[in-house]
């Protein structure tokens, strides 16, 4: 067993230097791109999430606790945002708008919250409504527990599906051997709620004794990408691996995505986590990265704004290598990877606007638009 673990570790390390042999693990730099990157908002230094209102204006969260509304070239600070737990990767995180916002006005926020008996914080989901540049009618929909003073792996992406269910990712909060495989505990999970925060009775573990009824899938590490597929309606996620093994998955009810029992990554120290990359009853990713790019933010291109070749591509931000990655898809298979906006900075989020333009949030810089040049 020990030799098997060491062999697996060695093979993974070797793959870092040989990944160019596999097109799915080779990122190329295109000679020409059909856009120019323009800095739209230059004074949001810690952007985390973005969402568009029906009028085309933009909401942006800043990890330090601010929510901004950008409309007609003007940035307005929204008051009365939730109090956040500021530690490590925690703070004010994602923002999404209800699909029927025109009629109900609901805005959803994920954030690190210290609410609870224990010291520290954990991921929470709330909703509120905008009135005169103030977030009103706060409703706490979910608060994970127990709190911990660890500063990593809050997850926190939000997405809606075609039926109006809202999904939330929560990372395993640095407790890899405790949370991800235990459905009686929060952390290392993707959750599904009704829009009002109640739990759908057809959730996979709703009738399972001691289970957290909101869990939809488990065995996740730190998912910071979540998006609805524009054609199939499936919810796709990506999540951070350790050293290697970032993953893209299609979220399925009740599915176990394996962390930390199976992984294509190793410890940051270079030691093995496990000798298993596959196991019966655990899902395989549709794509994994070697080496890790530290993915954050995720969006499909759904128009020909940048040409037919870009339509259907998946965009993912890289925190580690500081670029925007375009993944050319053939169904659920990645057939080509391109490095866009090289060395721009840590790309935290990416969204396609209702105008068909791509918006990119970059830490330390602000919000960029990709203006078509074709």
Q: What is the pLDDT of residues 184-232, one digit of tens each?
A: 999 999 999 999 999 999 999 999 999 999 999 999 999 999 999 999 9
- Domain ranges (residues) in the chain: 45-285
* Distance between CA atoms of residues 284 and 352, nearest Å: 28
pLDDT for 24: 59
- Using a CB cutoff of 8 Å and minimum separation of 24, what contacts does 162-165 make? 162/228, 162/233, 164/99, 164/100, 164/194, 164/195, 165/192, 165/193, 165/194, 165/195, 165/200
Helix (H, G, I), strand (E, B) or coil at 23: helix
* Distance between CA atoms of residues 167 and 157, nearest Å: 8
The catalytic residue among 98, 122, 153, 240 is 153
* Distance between CA atoms of residues 115 and 112, nearest Å: 9
Supply φ then ψ for residue 144, to 5 degrees.
Answer: -70, 155
pLDDT for 23: 45
Annotate 183-239 with DSSP letters as a single string.
Answer: TTS-SSEEEEE-TTSPPPTTSTTTTSTT--TTEEEE--S-EEEEEE-TTT--EEEEE
**Is the preceding peptide bond at 336 cis, omega within 30 degrees of 0?**
no
* Distance between CA atoms of residues 171 and 255, nearest Å: 16
Global confidence as pTM: 0.94
Q: What are the angstrom distances between the C-alpha of 102 and each of 52, 55, 98, 164, 194? A: 12, 9, 9, 14, 18
Query: In terms of DSSP bridges, do strands 235-239 and 223-228 run parallel, antiparallel, or are they unpaired?
Result: antiparallel
pLDDT for 3: 52
Type and span of the H or E element at 72: none
pLDDT for 272: 95
Q: Closest Cα partner for 92 from 110, 68, 107, 70?
A: 110
Q: Which fold has domain 45-285?
A: Neuraminidase (2.120.10)
Type and span of the H or E element at 76: strand 74-78
Q: Residues 237, 223: contact at Cβ < 8 Å? A: yes
* Distance between CA atoms of residues 143 and 82, nearest Å: 13
Active site residue 122: no
Averaged pLDDT in 10-residue chunks for the chain of 374 residues: 48 42 73 96 95 97 98 96 98 98 98 97 98 97 98 98 98 97 98 98 98 98 98 98 96 98 95 96 97 97 98 98 98 97 98 98 98 89
Q: Closest Cα partner for 316 from 250, 237, 263, 372?
A: 237
pLDDT for 16: 42
């Amino acid at each position: 067993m020990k030799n098997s673990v060491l062999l697996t570790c060695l093979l993974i390390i070797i793959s870092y230097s040989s990944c160019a042999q596999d097109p799915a693990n080779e990122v190329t730099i295109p000679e020409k791109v059909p856009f120019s990157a323009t800095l739209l908002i230059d004074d949001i230094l810690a952007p985390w999430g973005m969402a568009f209102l029906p009028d085309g204006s933009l909401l942006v969260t800043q990890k330090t606790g601010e929510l901004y509304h950008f409309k007609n070239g003007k940035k307005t600070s929204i008051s009365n945002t939730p109090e956040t737990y500021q530690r490590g990767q925690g703070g004010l995180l994602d923002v999404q708008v209800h699909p029927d916002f025109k009629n109900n006005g609901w805005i959803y926020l994920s954030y690190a919250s210290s609410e609870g008996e224990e010291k520290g914080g954990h991921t929470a989901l709330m909703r509120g409504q905008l009135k005169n540049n103030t977030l009103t009618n706060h409703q706490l929909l979910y608060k994970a527990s127990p709190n911990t003073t660890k500063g990593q792996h809050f997850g926190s992406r939000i997405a809606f599906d075609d039926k109006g269910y809202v999904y939330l990712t929560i990372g395993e909060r640095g407790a890899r051997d405790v949370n991800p495989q235990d459905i009686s505990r929060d952390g290392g999970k993707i959750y599904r709620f009704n829009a009002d925060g109640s739990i759908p009775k057809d959730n996979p573990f709703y009738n399972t004794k001691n289970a957290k009824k909101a869990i939809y899938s488990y065995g996740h590490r730190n998912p910071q990408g979540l998006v609805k597929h524009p054609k199939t309606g499936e919810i796709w996620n990506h999540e951070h691996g350790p050293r290697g093994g970032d993953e893209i998955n299609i979220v399925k009810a009740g599915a176990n995505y394996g962390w930390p029992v199976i992984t294509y990554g190793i410890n940051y120290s270079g030691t093995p986590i496990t000798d298993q990359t596959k196991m019966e009853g655990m899902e395989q990713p549709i794509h994994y990265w070697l080496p890790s790019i530290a993915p954050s933010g995720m969006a499909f291109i759904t128009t020909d704004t940048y040409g037919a070749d870009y339509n259907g591509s998946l965009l993912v931000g890289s925190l580690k290598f500081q670029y925007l990655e375009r993944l050319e898809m053939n169904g659920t298979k990645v057939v080509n990877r391109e490095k866009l906006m090289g060395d721009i900075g840590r790309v935290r989020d990416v969204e396609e606007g209702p105008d068909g333009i791509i918006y990119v949030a970059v830490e330390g810089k602000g919000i960029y638009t990709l203006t078509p040049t074709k």
